[in-house]
Amino acid sequence: MKSHDLFLLLLIVAFTVSISVEAQNQAGFISLDCGLVPKETTYLEATSNITYKSDANYTDSGLVGKINDAHKKLVHQQLWALRSFPEGERNCYKFNLVANRKYLIRGTFVYGNYDGLNQPPSFDLHIGTSKWTSIKIVGETDTIMREIIHVLTQGRLQVCLVKTGRTTPFISSLELRPLKNSTYVTESGSLVLYNRVYFSSDSTSIIRYDEDINDRVWNPLTEDDSTASISTDQYVNTNNIYEMPQVVMKTAAIPKNASAPWNLLWTIDNTTALSYVFMHFAEIQDLKANEIREFSITYNGGQPWYGWFRPAKLSITTIYSQTALTSSNGEYNFTLAMTGNSTLPPLIQALEIYTVVDILQLQTDKDEVSAMMNIKITYGLSKKISWQGDPCAPQLYRWEGLNCSYPDSEASRIISLNLNASGLNGTITSDIIKLTQLSELDLSNNDLSGEIPAFFADMKLLKLINLSGNPKLNLTVPDSLQQRVNIKSLTLILGQNMNPTPKKESKTVLVVAVAASMAGVFALLVILAIFFVVRGKKGKSTDARGPPPSITSGIVKSETRSSNPSIMTKDRRITYPEILKMTNNFERVLGKGGFGTVYHGNLDDAQVAVKMLSHSSAQGYKEFKAEVELLLRVHHRHLVGLTGYCDDGDNLALIYEYMANGDLRENMSGKRGGNVLTWENRMEIAVEAAQGLEYLHNGCTPPMVHRDVKTTNILLNDRCGAKLADFGLSRSFPIDGECHVSTVVAGTPGYLDPEYYRTNWLSEKSDVYSFGVVLLEIVTNQPVIDKTRERPHINEWVGFKLTKGDIKSIVDPKLMGDYDTNGAWKIVELALACVNPSSNRRPTMTHVVMELNECVALENARRQGNEEMYSMGSVDYSLSSASEFAPGAR
């Protein structure tokens, strides 16, 4: 084949996988004919058998238009109409989809001189807050198609058209197709299609649905002077995860000169771009007894990439790049060449080339986005031109009337909302309370009615509320809100009230931001003094008793604080004002849980995590005190260190060392940027967490049982080093005589030792059980409990799967087979021993650590072996290149 503008690359064979083909019923397809009217219209497009519908329900802006009638015969029906966006800088389509699902997203654009201006436009496409690609229309009849393969981290998607000049953005059709998550895997980022071709003698036959059940568009690449086409009428087994169309796999290209190297080349203008390539092969000729087709693939300059490959007879094999590829000059040259054993030239059926784009996931907090969308709908604010896409991000397109915070590595938060003179009517919506970081709220000069809501008093960061200019609003101020006004933690502006309804002993307020009278202040001080005297007496009483403990969601609800003496030591005690200062008034949220909220802070030039205990938390003062006193006396490199604590009145806080990469569960699920933890990472995390737990069991005096071992309590630092956290439920156990202690059951469902749950007898083997569940999560990346599985609990599911003796059926498919099989068997057997129903038959954590160290050693040996194997392939092939790009066995 001639070295013209083609492409390609490389490695890792995905051998034939037996999976069922999904029914071709367009399940999950969203196919929008943009600008189609009336909006209830649907139709079946004749060439593809795809059902299209109007886009009207997916966007609330834009104008409909139609291309020039003379151009309609050149394009398919879904491209006859379009939607243009002459107003606003950013206009978006909104979709509610499946979180953590992979989608192919395709936009198609045909200008067709719909506006009679003969000015083909240029503009950008965004996914959420990030640029996907640029669109530049050249001719009236040009058809521009753009595709991206993207994994949704949340259940919503926004595709936005962004104006970049004076011309008007438009779109002809927008299509979404769900894909299997195991396909088109990347180290990071989303995949933008550069080219997708199949080799055919027919230059006019574009393949898509329903030949391709995923509706990928395949363009034919025909033979030239250096190549020839071959084909077969026989069935080709295409049952691997890529589900290739039969018509694509039944034709292939071969070089006419079999003895000469066959070059596949392409050039990417962006020389810094990362790329991924997928090649699809099948032997479709009947080979004679003495015929062999075997070839190798080399990359730029003859470096070996995949060698001694023999396509399977009438069965697909997909070879693809396991890691992203780069080229300093943007040129890629891949050579397919016969080996010394081969009698036949190389062949190839199809190839796909993608470049990587990073779609930033750090958008506005999802709860606040939901709240703003509800506010938009409640008050009919769809006509606000700027209210498109994400409310805060990117900052250039922030919604009008909003101010937001932009922390470095967390979602943006709304800190002020100004809806002055926005035509609001009806009552004040409770969705406002979901804007938890709000400090200023302006609802003035509208037509609001009803009561001033009491929930304003619960918004602790709210400093200013302006409700003036709402003549129908009842200006009675709730007591809880009035108290905040009195102590000057809140300014409430009501303005002139024509018909006030004051509370008893209150006065009509013009601006309720005034200091309380001296008598009121004096009374308040007297009340507070009495309160603290009474509370002090209760704290000293030895007879005070709290309510009996109860179990809520598997976690102990502790006694009231009055039955627990305060923490003995004052070392590292921090006041609440110091907490406010170090967190910058709780500006940046790191996470939330049943215990409360964790905030980012800075203490003595070091980053810290500040866990504020919620008043409604199941983790009460007893658990808080236990955690402080435990962490003040135990120190281990794999236990999260306590930097300080706050025990200031009702304000309880724990200040930990900062763990930049969050918890293990987030990293396994892809919520920390989408990167897949390697098998090596997972083994190291497992052994480090085990060492921390082993220290609690054997290194402490007295020994400790953690009681809440789970993946969300294993935290990772910036180097992915693991530390065990959250010791609020920890208990000591005896070392002489009895081997267990009787206690109220505590822990997390799914991780809870069934023997402990049944008998209330706690021992270190209860932690071993929980850690076994964690090991199974690390191997499988499956939820601990999933009622849709044939076996809901992960222990039972793994055991059920292993009855067939196939470890691959349970190992996380995101690893793409890149792990040591012996190590995988070893860790699964160890995990199943840990979750044995009988605690006497479970190993100790000392034994667990020893076994896990052997798994790490196996993985290290495998990786060293791979490097040696591939570096020996060529004198010029550097060890570093082999380590980075060499394929593992598949």
Asked if 348 and 408 sit in the same domain, the reply is no
- Asked, for residue 456, whether it belongs to a domain, the answer is yes
Of 632, 657, 682, the last residue of a domain is: 657
- Asked, for residue 272, whether it belongs to a domain, the answer is yes
The answer on pLDDT for 156 being more than 90 is: no
* Cα–Cα distance list, 81 to 34, 107, 524, 672 (Å): 6, 14, 69, 40
Asked if 224 and 177 sit in the same domain, the reply is no
CATH number at residue 507: 3.80.10.10
- Asked, for residue 438, whether it belongs to a domain, the answer is yes
The answer on pLDDT for 572 being more than 80 is: no
The values of phi and psi at residue 321, to 5°, are -75, 130
pLDDT in tens, 383-436: 777 898 889 988 878 898 999 988 876 788 999 999 998 999 999 999 999 999
Asked if 597 and 651 sit in the same domain, the reply is yes
**Separation between Cα atoms, residue 105 and residue 87, nearest integer Å:** 24
pLDDT in tens, 469-518: 999 999 999 999 999 999 999 999 997 543 344 444 343 344 444 333 44
Query: pLDDT tier at 305 (50, 70, 90 boundaries)?
Result: confident
Strand order in the sheet with 90-96: 90-96, 156-163, 122-127, 130-136
Q: State the average pLDDT over residues 664-693.
A: 87
Whether residue 600 contacts residue 611, with contact meaning beta carbons closer than 8 Å, is answered with no
Strand bridging mode 51-54 / 30-33: parallel
Whether residue 248 contacts residue 218, with contact meaning beta carbons closer than 8 Å, is answered with yes
Of 303, 326, 357, the last residue of a domain is: 357
Which one-letter amino acid corresponds to residue 256? K
Q: State the average pLDDT over residues 285-301.
A: 91
**What is the number of domains present in the chain?**
5
Q: Tell me what pLDDT residue 632 has.
A: 73
Whether residue 49 contacts residue 137, with contact meaning beta carbons closer than 8 Å, is answered with no
Which one-letter amino acid corresponds to residue 204? T
The answer on pLDDT for 548 being more than 50 is: no
Share of the chain above pLDDT 70, in %: 82
Bridge partners, 555 (sequence order): 552
Burial class (CB in 10 A: 0-12, 13-18, 19+), 698: middle
Asked if 501 and 633 sit in the same domain, the reply is no
pLDDT in tens, 858-882: 888 887 764 333 222 222 222 222 2
- Asked, for residue 224, whether it belongs to a domain, the answer is yes
- Asked, for residue 455, whether it belongs to a domain, the answer is yes
Bridge partners, 648 (sequence order): 651
The answer on pLDDT for 839 being more than 60 is: yes
Query: pLDDT tier at 890 (50, 70, 90 boundaries)?
Result: very low
- Asked, for residue 213, whether it belongs to a domain, the answer is no
Asked if 671 and 773 sit in the same domain, the reply is yes
Asked if 432 and 322 sit in the same domain, the reply is no
Q: Tell me what pLDDT residue 590 has.
A: 85
The answer on pLDDT for 558 being more than 70 is: no
- Asked, for residue 533, whether it belongs to a domain, the answer is no
Q: Tell me what pLDDT residue 259 has.
A: 85
Q: In terms of pLDDT, which residue wins out, 536 or 356?
A: 356
For residue 131, what is the enclosing H or E element?
Answer: strand 130-136
CATH number at residue 557: 3.30.200.20
Asked if 17 and 158 sit in the same domain, the reply is yes
Q: State the average pLDDT over residues 301-315.
A: 85
Q: At what angle do helices 764-780 and 679-698 cross, to 10 degrees?
A: 180
Q: Tell me what pLDDT residue 619 has.
A: 57
- Asked, for residue 591, whether it belongs to a domain, the answer is yes
CATH number at residue 131: 2.60.120.430
Lowest mean pLDDT among 1-5, 93-97, 323-327, 863-867: 1-5
**Which domain, by its residues, includes 557?**
550-657
Asked if 347 and 456 sit in the same domain, the reply is no
**Separation between Cα atoms, residue 614 and residue 549, nearest integer Å:** 18
Q: Tell me what pLDDT residue 870 has.
A: 27
The answer on pLDDT for 817 being more than 50 is: yes
Of 631, 657, 683, the last residue of a domain is: 657
Asked if 788 and 862 sit in the same domain, the reply is yes
Rounded to the nearest integer, the mean pLDDT of the chain is 81
Asked if 69 and 166 sit in the same domain, the reply is yes
Residue 774 CA, distance from chain mean position: 20
CATH number at residue 238: 2.60.120
Asked if 646 and 672 sit in the same domain, the reply is no
Whether residue 427 contacts residue 404, with contact meaning beta carbons closer than 8 Å, is answered with no
CATH number at residue 708: 1.10.510.10
Query: pLDDT tier at 673 (50, 70, 90 boundaries)?
Result: low
- DSSP codes, 702-769: S-EE-S---GGGEEE-TT--EEE---TT-EE--SSS-S-EE----S-TTTS-HHHHHH-EE-HHHHHH
The answer on pLDDT for 739 being more than 80 is: no
Q: Tell me what pLDDT residue 529 has.
A: 52
Asked if 332 and 400 sit in the same domain, the reply is no
The answer on pLDDT for 887 being more than 70 is: no
Q: State the average pLDDT over residues 40-65.
A: 94
Q: Tell me what pLDDT residue 361 has.
A: 64
Whether residue 54 contacts residue 63, with contact meaning beta carbons closer than 8 Å, is answered with no
Q: Which residues are catalytic?
A: 708
Q: Nearest to residue 346, comparing CAs of 383, 389, 373, 306? A: 306
**Separation between Cα atoms, residue 272 and residue 251, nearest integer Å:** 34
Tokens of 55: 């886009």
